[in-house]
Amino acid sequence: MRKVSGLSRFNIASLTLGLAFLYLPILILVIYSFNASRLVTVWGGWSLRWYHEFFNDRAMIEAAWMSLKVALASATMATLFGTLAAVALSRGERFVGRTLFSGMLYAPLVMPEVITGLSLLLLFVALNAERGFWTVTIAHTTLTMCFVAVVVQSRLGSLDRSLEEAAMDLGCNPVRAFVAVTLPLIAPSIVAGWMLAFTLSLDDLVIASFTTGPGSATLPIRIYSEVRLGVKPEINAICTLVIGLIAVVIVVASLASKLSSEQGESAAPL
Amino acid sequence: MAEKLLTTDAELGAAGEAAHPAAGQPLLRIEGVAKTFGAFRAVDGVSLDIGAGEFFALLGPSGCGKTTLLRMLAGFEAPDEGRILLGGKDIAQALPHERPINMMFQNYALFPHLSVSDNIAFGLKRAGMARADIARRVAEMVALVNLEGLEKRKPDQLSGGQRQRVALARALARRPQLLLLDEPLAALDKKLRESTQGELMELQRRLGMTFIIVTHDQEEAMTMASRIGVMKAGKLAQVASPRELYEAPRSRWIAEFVGDINLFDGESKLRDGHRLIIGTRDAGSLVVAEPREPVGGGKLSVAIRPEKVKLSRRGPVGEAGRETAINLLDGVIADICYLGGTTTYKVKLDTGGMVQASVANSARLDVDAYSVNQHVVAWFAPDDCVLLTS
């Protein structure tokens, strides 16, 4: 720390406090996941007992698998639709109701999740749809699509329109120009949007609990119902695994976007 | 004397005519093209012929419609009215990729994710050229614009001048019938701009290609183009060779837009053989040669370029001086602006007006220079004046 010049004591103190506030709880959770004791608050030595317990807990494993499937499917769908919406908003001709469309697209950003969840529940009931994997996936797609659209649209907005014009001038039709020039350049933001959608879906409790059905609980729902009966150290182990997964995904994504900006040569599907 | 004046004017016109495309069909014919954005008429009925091998410049202030016209040629905008014929075929509604025309963009629009050679090869790959042919053509283009050794670089690893060359090579690679250049030198500094002007002209001559350049810089247009179209408010104000544009501008606006000029508003007109005597408020009576075309009824101005105004302490000197110096104006030096190669003197005339004279600094020592408040005579020949209507 001393080597970093220009940091006053106040800076160091506020930095330490801030980081501690953000990461100490997570660190404690991770450490206690290796606790041998049955009691969450009492340290009983190191052990992998609760991880073992989790991998033998069929209901929990099923919930985790369910969450993963929902997150993968909904993030992929949200990325597809969100990117299309962003392209329509920033590249398409000015169509009637454009402002209304962009307003409606971004509404889920500020809409309380309870309302989104409840309205989707009412819709599924009215349609007499069997609630389960697909209803949660659709609900999560609705929730996360706007985040993808925001991320992709900001990148599209900063992109020079004359790049597409140059591609057309050099013999591409408008679709080809988009695929050959625009898509490689917005790819990092599409990846970032997918990641955002994936993590949002993975940790969503409210909307999932409205739209899921019996026998297809997601991991947050499962954890929440367990915790109501008292916190088991097994929960700590699950949470540690989730944190690990998210950390890996984030590192991979940032490496990928760095790579694509450094040498995105192969990114152009010509 | 008057005879001589007339032939001079006619020669000037003939020189302009000679720069026109040869007889037969022009490469590009623009017929009554118009484009409206909302209530704004960006291009308002432009008709123009451009011959194969010409270096044509569209010149005008910003917002005059020159870029819109260029974008219609490239296919990024469709004209609301009129036809654009390339080699006799109407391409007004064709999409950009369907035209044998390429464009060099003002900001170059290089693909940031592709290397120099991939940028140049982009249009060739789209044209379905064989891999070996592409490699050969790219190497040829790289050599043409002197970019050897930089093929693997990305655009952000290049200097402004190098980027400009890549953009040029990319636009030329497909060997278009027509190359459009949108302010191609605007982003370069002055020295680089001047050397690049020369290279562009040399390249155009060597390839025998037709270039249309859009610029707001009249010096750039004059230097490079064989013919210039001056645009104002969506219309072509004059199409002429650089010399004709400078020496025989068609209107007061063009005269002021292209280079510096002294203008004296006329109040009365008298005929004296082949000359006209114009009474002006600011400079008294001025004698000018009668223009080729009859002067319209509008308000008249006498225009004289600063370098054609001579200064002396006591009036015209020498044989030639006495013969041609009919317009003699007394005044005092009001302001001196030393520009290196020339010095511009502002002379306050006794009759009330101001006249600018540009004098070449042909000697290193300033023994002949004038000083402020010194009395001088400014004089110029009738055949150096242009009579303009506003």
Distance CA B96, CA B125 (A): 16
pLDDT of residue B12: 41
Query: Which one, of B272, B277, B239, lies nearest residue B258 by Cα?
Result: B239
SS3 B220: helix
Tell me: pLDDT of A264 over 60.
Answer: no
pLDDT for res B312: 86
ipTM of this predicted structure? 0.79
| B340 conformational bin, left if phi > 0, alpha if psi -120 to 50, beta if neither | left
User: pLDDT value at position A5?
Assistant: 61
Digit-coded pLDDT (tens) for B172-207 = 999 999 999 999 988 888 888 888 999 999 999 999
Q: How confident is the model at residue A213 (pLDDT cuts 50, 70, 90)?
A: confident
Which residues in chain A are closer than 8 Å to B96, comparing Cβ atoms?
A: 165, 168-169
In which band, very low, low, confident or very high, does the pLDDT at A261 lie, cut at 50, 70 and 90? Answer: low
What is the DSSP secondary structure assignment for residue A182, as one 8-state letter? I
Q: Which two tokens stand for residue B177?
A: 């019938």
Write the pLDDT tens digit of every residue in B115-138.
999 999 999 999 989 999 999 999
| A266 in B contact zone (CB under 8 Å) | no
Chain A residues within an 8 Å CB radius of B170: 166, 170
**Per-residue confidence (pLDDT) for residue B332, from 0 to 100:** 94
* Residue with more model confidence, B192 or A94: B192
User: Which range has the top average pLDDT, A26-40, A111-125, B269-283?
Assistant: A111-125
Q: At CB < 8 Å, which residues of chain B contact A?
A: 74-76, 95-97, 101-103, 105-107, 109-115, 118, 122-123, 125-127, 170-171, 174
Q: Using CA atoms, how far apart are residues B17 and A69, in angstroms rounded to an integer?
A: 76
State residue B171's pLDDT score. Answer: 95
pLDDT at res. B324: 57
Residues B204-235: tens digit of each pLDDT: 999 999 999 999 999 999 999 999 999 999 99
Structure confidence at residue A4 as a pLDDT band (50, 70, 90): low
Please report the pLDDT score of residue A98 as a whole number. Answer: 83
Share of chain A above pLDDT 70, in %: 92
How far, in Å, CA of A127 to CA of A123, rounded? 6
Helices (H) and strands (E) in chain B, counts: 10, 20
**Residue A264 in contact with partner chain B when CB distance is under 8 A:** yes
Task: Tell me which chain B residues have a C-beta less than 8 angstroms from the C-beta of A163.
Answer: 109, 111-112
**CB B276, CB B385: distance < 8 Å:** no
Q: For residue A173, what are the CA distances in angstroms to A74, A156, A176, A181, B115?
A: 31, 19, 5, 12, 22
Residue of chain B nearest A261, judged by CA positions: B113
CB B12 within 8 A of CB B243: yes
- Cβ contacts of A184 on chain B, cutoff 8 Å: 113
Whole-angstrom CA distances from A96 to A84, A89, A100, A135, B254 are 17, 12, 9, 31, 43
Considering only residues A103 and B366, tell me which one the structure prediction assigns the higher pLDDT.
Answer: A103
The Cα-based distances of A79 to A72, A130, A148, A192, A197 in angstroms read 11, 25, 6, 10, 8
What does the pLDDT read at residue A3? Answer: 53
Check pLDDT > 60 for residue B21: no
pLDDT at B162 over 90: yes
Smallest Cα–Cα separation from A63: which of A243, A215, A218, A200?
A: A218
Q: Which helix (H) or strand (E) holds A192?
A: helix A183-203
Name the band, by pLDDT with cuts 50, 70 and 90, for residue B285.
confident
In chain B, % helix, strand, coil (3-state, to 5) comes to 30, 35, 35
Q: What is the mean pLDDT of chain A?
A: 86
* Residue B373 three-state SS: coil
Q: In this complex, which of B76, B115, B174 lies closest to A170 when CB atoms are compared?
A: B174
The rounded Cα A20 to chain-centroid distance in angstroms is: 24
Tell me if A169 and B96 make a contact (CB, 8 A cut-off).
Answer: yes
Average pLDDT, stretch A99-108?
Answer: 85
Write down the pLDDT at residue A1: 46
Q: How far is A166 from chain B (nearest CA, A)?
A: 6
Interface touch A170/B114, C-beta < 8 Å: no
Please give the Cα distance from B277 to B196 (Å, whole number): 46
Residue A150 vs residue B269, higher pLDDT: A150
Distance from CA of B184 to the nearest CA of A (A): 14
Question: Cα Rg for chain B, rounded, in angstroms?
Answer: 25
Residues 162-191 of A with CB under 8 A from B: 162-163, 165-174, 176, 180-181, 184-185
**How far off is chain B from A269, nearest CA to CA, in Å?**
11
